[in-house]
Amino acid sequence: MRIVFLGSNPSNASPMDEAFTHCKSRKTLDKWIEKLGLRVYDVDFMNVSNAKTPNNRMLFSGEIEREVDRLVDETYGKVIICLGTVAKKAMKLVNKKADRKYITLPHPSGRNPQANDSEWLDGILLEAKKALAELI
């Protein structure tokens, strides 16, 4: 079963509109992937939306809802690791239409104060590793 890391949408700082390419969060995420016992080339990355938002604001509910049918299709047969609250909200909406397996981690942004607490984060990643083992 393929594992997919689901983010919100591309950062305005990213030169690409693809998920977690050429952005600071990707460096953090690569470390998390290793701590989860995964290899970066064995996982996929996607976003709830591929559109950038003004000032990197969070997606509005309507913007998330417009992506649900696409997410239902693109998450079939995959285990999803939601990165942050927007991705978690999207997967809750997806699961109203189709049963998908997912877990949630904080967003790997350097602006996330929880993600900067290494002791807390190590505990979260250990729990996620156990949860993933049960799902795959």
> Per-residue b/e over 10-33, b at no fewer than 16 CB within 10 Å?
bbeebeeeebbeebebbebbeebb
What's this model's pTM, rounded to 2 decimal places?
A: 0.92
Q: Which run of H or E residues covers position 77?
A: none
Q: Does domain 2-135 have CATH number 3.40.250.10?
A: no
How many CA atoms are closer than 13 Å to the CA of 77, on its beta-carbon side?
3
Other C-beta atoms lying within 10 Å of the C-beta of residue 73:
10
Give start and end residues of each alpha helix (H) in 6-136: 24-35, 61-65, 68-74, 85-94, 118-135
pLDDT at 26: 85
Per-residue pLDDT tens for 38-69? Answer: 998 999 999 999 999 999 899 999 999 999 99
Per-residue pLDDT at 18 exceeds 80 = no
% of the chain with per-residue pLDDT over 90: 74
- pLDDT at 131 exceeding the cut of 70: yes
Mean pLDDT, the chain, rounded, equals 91
Closest CA to 70 of 52, 46, 53, 88: 46
